[in-house]
Structure 1
Amino acid sequence: MKWKLTVQYLFSVLSIVFIVIFVNLIILIGVLYFQQTNGNDSLSTDTGESFTRQFSRYLSTENEQPLITDEGIQALREFGGWLQVLDSNGHVVTAALAPKDAPTHYSPVELVHIYKYMDDQLTTYYVGQFEEYSYLLGVQNSTEQRVVFMFNAQSFLSYVSKAFVGITIADLLIAMLVGLLFSMIITKPVSYIIDRISQLKERNFSIQKMKRQGVFKPVFSNLNSVSETLQAHEEERMKLEKMREEWISNVSHDLKTPLASIRGFAELLRGQDVMESERAEYAEIIERKSIYMKDLLDDFNLTMRLRNQEMPLHREDTRPASFVREIVIDVLNDPRYSDHAISFEGNAHNAIWSIDRHLMKRAILNFIHNAIIHNDRDIAITISVSDTGLTIEDDGKGIAKQDIEQIFNRYYRGSNTDNIHGTGLGLAISKDIIEAHGGHITLTSDIGKGTKVEIFLN
């Protein structure tokens, strides 16, 4: 591709050079033709030839002798020249403003010589005709010089043709060399641009930098911007694909057990010898498993959306002291937990949290319920609010060190949580909610001394 672009560019350059040479040749021929056909008319009246041809109007004859009028003498002074009138034998019959040492007779050879080559005083001579007389006009140190050369049409045409061919070849070679250098400079980034577009087509979105970008710098910048955008879209697509596969895999795995229970008890219900009391028990188990499946799906959807930042937060400015106090009151009003020792301390009267109240309430309740259901009934739970966050502390069983590192993993149950019901996603959801708000959690615990959870919100 690179060499193809180079050849195309080089061909374009050579074509332009050839066209320019041809056009210049046509213009040159036209100018020469115009000068040849209109040269006399184009000459200014200030030139020596023109002045000399027109000077005959200042000449007249009297008694068969030529005379120069006063206007002619004045014109000679203004022009800076002098004049001699010659008869047919070359004798000077009259003169005006001529130097004292000017010849009084000119032979034909002398006339030809001074007309072609000037004299020793660097005088330029012009010749005119008046009746049977001729006149010689001289201008010393003239700005005009006469160049005489021999011209052979055949040789000239041969020379011109050879010169044209030589100049054309030389110009084309120079243009080819320069065009090749420039084409290599220009076609390299163009070829790179084409390759980059092909890479994008093949879903290669890596960012690449090229040296000597030149005039193509905005193009490369835009290509890298496109690559970054496409890379972001590709990562988003892969993330969604991974999330979808993970969701399907986990849901499929986690639903097998309750589905198997539902199926088994449903088959028992169809039996003829099932007692009425057993039938009610089986129906209750099926209902409980169905509720578990619904809770599992809801919790799993929530944690997946939170971890993939797909869950929009409806933030509200909230005073943490009153907000957490209401949560503690709700827990104590629950008949299952009304006899537990739960205390509240609010030391953040001026603090304001920007939170999603619904999600944050669920996160805090998960920690409180976790402290309740994983300990004995006689433990004490202290919940305190400060300007920087929230602390939930109990004096219960504590958590083993090997369990602390995995306590926030999905479905993980510690060594002291036997026969505890739930989906296994509570603490994972709480952690995801806190992090979605830009906060973080620290958990410390000692066996036999209790557990302390600290929630920090920015």
Structure 2
Amino acid sequence: MSSAMKLIRRFIVILFLSICLLFIFNVVLFFYLSYHQAGNQGGWKAAETISQSLQKDDRGSYRLSEKGVATLDEYQAWAILIDDRTGKVVWHSSNLPQAVPLAYSAADIARAVRGYICDYPTTTSGHGKDLLILGHPKTAYWKLMHNTFDYQTIASLPRHLLVFTICNLAAIFLIYMVAATGIFRSVKPILCGIEALPGGGNVYVKEKGLLSQLAASINRVSETLNMQKRQIQKKETARANWIAGVSHDIRTPLSMVMGYAGQLEEDQALEEPVRRKASAIRHQSEKIRNLVSDLNLASKLEYNMQPLKMAPVNMAALTRQVSADFMNMDIEDKYPISWNGSEEMNACFVLGDKDLLRRAFSNIIQNSINHNDGGCGIYITLSEKDGQCAILMEDDGIGVSNAQIEELNSSPHYMVCDDQISRQRHGLGLLIVKQIAAAHHGSVTIGCSTYGGFSVLLEFPICQENHNS
């Protein structure tokens, strides 16, 4: 609806701008067309020129100079000179029409001066006490015989022009609004349909009016989007069901493999090479179990199927617990963990699911262990800045290249592919970390550590209630 009102406002602005420009254009055009129009002054000046060019010789005869003859030719006019005392024509040009009389009464002279002689428009000039009349072609001028206006009309002219202008603008605006209302009725459903398309759902616009073809296109687009949405949902549902089914079906046979492998590993009657093979089978089976568990958890987080048990969690205590668990399992002390944090950071609370946050921290530490077979130091730093609890987890292992870091931060699934099949990859574990952080309104940044290895920075909003207390 806001788009429709914006469109109407723009149309109204265009209307008023068009009226102003049209008015200016008409004024300029009027002055341009009337610039050379002298308001009949050309005919009057021609009569004065003929009067000045007409001279009387010693014998009493009139003679027209060459300039006067040229003026008559230019205006295609004829001329007569009427005697002041007798009213008779004492001189006329050689091209005088036969219908033009040669004697005039005072009434005839009054009519001739104001208007016409035998339908020939006239202009006049004095020649001494006599009257010179210049007759023009019948189509040269249109003379108004009774063009008089009373004083009140002239005095009221500005007010009349203002009323005329206002009435015209009101009429134009009314016509425009009537037309715009019809257009708006056709455009409104189209705009509403277009605005509703990104929200999904069924969008239908009645296919009628001036924009029926556009309405039909919107309906087809809506049908296509809905069909694609249903197909995507169907595929995603099938994928989620497949992952859940595989996770469930693989649990029992994998438990049997791990159980038998454990029994063979602990059987002292078997030779050492056989027991080592059984141990390798058990370790790899554990990786498969963890991978299936991670895959199932990632699927649940992606589709919001994992219920979150939100409560204030002390991040300092939780990171220490996770560190202690890994240190207790590290019998050979190949992966020592150092915890860095000030005394003020002994109680940094975040509103979250404790088990999921533990899983995220465990995945990051396990990622460092998986990619550094020769051992590495792991460093955990807890800090607070701008209302965010920051957990920086680093190692001094082999690290990754800048290109890999860029791909880890930008790839939706955090997969780094290479040509070496035997090389382990940063993949699903970091994806789960990212999903857990997103579920807690946090962020994850992957980079190179200050120790030359791999680093992961997690930031979560601090729970203000516990923080203030």
TM-score, length basis structure 1: 0.46
Say which one has the larger Rg: 1
Q: TM-score, normalised by structure 2?
A: 0.45
